Amino acid sequence: MFKGSFTALVTPFRAGKNGTAGMVDEKKFAELIEFQIKNGTDGIVPAGCTGEAATLTHKEQGRLVSLACEIVDKRVPVIGGAGSNNTEEAIMLTRFAKKAGCDAALSITPYYNKPTPEGQYRHYAAIAKKVEIPIVVYNVPSRTGISIKPQTVARLSKIDNIVAIKEASGSIDQTSEILSLCDITVLSGDDSLTLPMMAVGAKGVISVVSNIIPREVHDMVLGFLEGDFERARQLHYRILPLCKAMFIETNPIPIKTSMRLLRRLNGKLRLPLCEMQKENEGKLRKSLKDYGLL
């Protein structure tokens, strides 16, 4: 189930007062999901970092993952964002994901309070014990301030419903060490490293750039999985500049700006995220043009 190209879906907002982001735009959210499925995406990941989960209320987050499951209607897996640095809150959000009908829950490593490896283990073990749903651990030290050690991942992999890890440490060595210690499914959390990570054993990606080029990301991952390494390599080099452009400012600012420039979205972001600097938007526009999207 957990292999291929999964899209870390943006959350569309209606325009609010003074040009700010207002309520979640459910109609646009449905359109984005249909676009993904039509273009071969293997799974949908709502309410993650790219979906601005940190700015959603619990009610909005629960509604978003529920709506995603309703729209997808079992056509592809849905991995609902359900993480928190508060273990009890993470359990609550994971219950939301289960009740909504998600195929799995994405659970970020606890941020800010920076638990020890033992604390990380107990956090995930508590979630897994309380909620019977497959759990995808999410390691993204650039956001959380701490990385999960491969040895901790190996311990967690022995818990039946901890089935995968979204690995966004930016380190191929991290992936290699994890897979040398256990057989947990690894999904890339860094678009530019998807193919290199698959070369050492990852099974796919939870992608940001696939919000705008789902077919190409899907084809690259599928090419590798089916043994067409040359095709996968060609696609990797084609999409690489676009992958880099998606992180010239904090995600999801560039991807939402791209979708605005492509007239797929109004690009509204919730504070404290805000519009791109003009210089960086110019660089982003050039990347989209070079790729042939503009």
Tell me which of 3, 149, 166, 268 is the catalytic residue.
166
CA 233 to chain centre: 22
For residue 166, indicate whether it is catalytic: yes
Q: Is 138 a catalytic residue?
A: yes
CA angle, 240 then 36 then 57, to 5°: 100
Q: Which of 3, 98, 138, 268 is catalytic?
A: 138
Residue 216 identity (one-letter amino acid) = E
Residue 64 CB contacts under 8 Å (≥ 6 apart), including other chains? 11, 24, 29, 46, 47, 51, 56
Is 294 within 8 Å of 89 (Cβ atoms)? no
Cα–Cα distances (Å) from 54 to 71, 82, 111, 252, 271, in that order, read 23, 11, 12, 12, 10
Q: Is 246 left (phi over 0), alpha (psi -120 to 50) or beta?
A: alpha
- Catalytic residue annotation: 138, 166
